[in-house]
C-alpha cells in the first residue's frame, strides 16, 4: 500500500502545475464574473458559470493524455521498469486524475454557487426572450448537484479509459508501425467510437439504459446520469482498462 501511495503521489506531483493552473484560471474568471453579476444581476453570469462544470467532461481524458505523454517522453524506461504491473501503473494514473477532477469540480461548483446566489438575490429580470428564464436553469443546477456531478464524472471517466487504451495502443504498435502508429490507431479508435455511438442510438440500447435517472421531474433531467447507462457501460470500461494493462505488460517496449 505504501508503494502504491508513493506512486500515486508521484503522478499527482507530475500534474500539480496543470491542476493548480486550471483552478487559478477559474478563480480569475470568477472574479470578473462576480463583478459583472454584481453590476448587472440579470442571470447571464450565473448561466455562463455552469459552462466550467460541463467542461469537466474533458478533465480526466486531458489529464491522462498529458500525464501519459510526459511519461513516454521524459521517463519511459524508469516508469515501465517499476516493479508493478501495467494495471497498477495505469490505475495510479486514473486515480490521480479523479482526485484532480474532484478538487477542480468542487472549486468550480463553489464559485458558480457563490456567484449565482448573489445574482439571484439581486435579480433584476432576464435580458433574454420571455420564454427563457436563466434563473430556472441556475436553480436546477444548484439543486441537482449530485445528479449533474455523477453524469460529468462518469462521462469523463469513460472518455479517460478510452484515452488510456488509445495512448497505450499507440505505444504497443510503435515499434512495428513506427511513424504510422498514430494514424493506424486513430483509424481503429475512430471506427470503435463510431460503432459505440451508433449502438447508443439504437432502440435496443435505449430500452436497456433509459431508466434510473436520479431526478426525472425536471425539463433539465436529460443532463443526469441514468443507472441503466452506468450498468451497461461499466463492463466495457473494465474491458478497455484490462486491455490497456495487458498491452502495457506484454507489448509496450522502451
CA dihedral 159, 165, 167, 168 (to 10 degrees): 160
pLDDT at res. 153: 92
Q: Are 118 and 38 contacting, i.e. CB atoms less than 8 angstroms apart?
A: yes
Q: How far is CA 122 from CA 17, 37, 41, 47, in A?
A: 37, 9, 6, 15
- Mean pLDDT, the chain, rounded, equals 82
Look up the pTM and report it.
Answer: 0.86
For residue range 182-241, list pLDDT tens digits in order. 899 999 999 998 998 888 888 888 888 777 766 555 545 555 667 787 888 889 899 999
pLDDT at res. 249: 78
For residue range 127-178, list pLDDT tens digits in order. 555 566 777 778 878 887 887 888 899 889 999 999 999 999 988 888 788 7
Check whether 65 has a pLDDT greater than 90.
yes
For residue range 30-39, list pLDDT tens digits in order. 888 878 777 7
- The rounded distance, in Å, linking the Cα atoms of 187 and 214 is 36
pLDDT (average), residues 111-124: 79
pLDDT at res. 35: 80
Amino acid at each position: 500500500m505504501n508503494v502504491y501511495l508513493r506512486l500515486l503521489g508521484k503522478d499527482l506531483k507530475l500534474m500539480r502545475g496543470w491542476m493548480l493552473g486550471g483552478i487559478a484560471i477559474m478563480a480569475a474568471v470568477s472574479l470578473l464574473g462576480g463583478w459583472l453579476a454584481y453590476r448587472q444581476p440579470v442571470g447571464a453570469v450565473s448561466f455562463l458559470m455552469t459552462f466550467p462544470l460541463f467542461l469537466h467532461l474533458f478533465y480526466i481524458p486531458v489529464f491522462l493524455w498529458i500525464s501519459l505523454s510526459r511519461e513516454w517522453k521524459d521517463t519511459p524506461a524508469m516508469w515501465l521498469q517499476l516493479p508493478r504491473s501495467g494495471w497498477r501503473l495505469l490505475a495510479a494514473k486514473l486515480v490521480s486524475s479523479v482526485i484532480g477532477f474532484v478538487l477542480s469540480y468542487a472549486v468550480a461548483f463553489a464559485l458558480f454557487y457563490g456567484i449565482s446566489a448573489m445574482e439571484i438575490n439581486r435579480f433584476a429580470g432576464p435580458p433574454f426572450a420571455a420564454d427563457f428564464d436563466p434563473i430556472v436553469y441556475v436553480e436546477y443546477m444548484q439543486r441537482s448537484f449530485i445528479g449533474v456531478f455523477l453524469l460529468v464524472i462518469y462521462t469523463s471517466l469513460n472518455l479517460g479509459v478510452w484515452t488510456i487504451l488509445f495512448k497505450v495502443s499507440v505505444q504497443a504498435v510503435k515499434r512495428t508501425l513506427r511513424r504510422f502508429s498514430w494514424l493506424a490507431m486513430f483509424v481503429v479508435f475512430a471506427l470503435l467510437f463510431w460503432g459505440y455511438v451508433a449502438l447508443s442510438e439504437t432502440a435496443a440500447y435505449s430500452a436497456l439504459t433509459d431508466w434510473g435517472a436520479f431526478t426525472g421531474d425536471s425539463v433539465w433531467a436529460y443532463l443526469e446520469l441514468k443507472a441503466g447507462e452506468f450498468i451497461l457501460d461499466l463492463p466495457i470500461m473494465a474491458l478497455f482498462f484490462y486491455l490497456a494493462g495487458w498491452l502495457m505488460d506484454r507489448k509496450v517496449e522502451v
